[in-house]
Amino acid sequence: MLVELTYFKRIMTESIHLFVRFKTKPSSIYEAWLDSDGHSQMTGGVANCSNLIGGSFNAWDGYIEGQNLNLIPNKEINQTWRTSEFQDDDKDSQLTIRLEEIGNETELTLIHTNIPEGQTQYEQGWKEHYFQPMHDYFD
């Protein structure tokens, strides 16, 4: 009896879910995130951004690239997200930024999914290369 074997590659991914508050309006974060000069100033890394659905962007001197999937002005940004550390066969990760005004602050909820397995360093990257510079910029 001949047995046919089928092999499958199991692809595992990581997810990050973070909350942070800034002393600014949601519109300030939304506009800066999608503007080349604003994004560059709030993070300290060179960025080329688009504020259009389907528009491409890159950030941190080309380390990050992606595309805007859905935009809800001043409330939510959905993007594909990929760094130069991704392998060619890795699928793009997905980034959702939600903005909620709470008093005189904005709570930013970051949901980053479909990160290639083993690349959990992105959580620290978000804190060091986005949230800290954004606090310096907005607060």
Mean pLDDT by 10 residues, the chain (139 residues): 48 81 97 98 96 97 96 98 92 97 96 85 90 95
Spell out where 12-91 has E strands: 13-22, 56-59, 64-72, 76-83
At residue 44, the pLDDT reads: 95
Spell out where the chain has E strands: 13-22, 56-59, 64-72, 76-83, 93-102, 105-116
Question: pTM above 0.85?
Answer: yes
At residue 122, the pLDDT reads: 82
Domains in the chain: ranges and CATH: 14-138 (3.30.530.20)
42 with 134: CB under 8 angstroms? yes
At residue 139, the pLDDT reads: 87
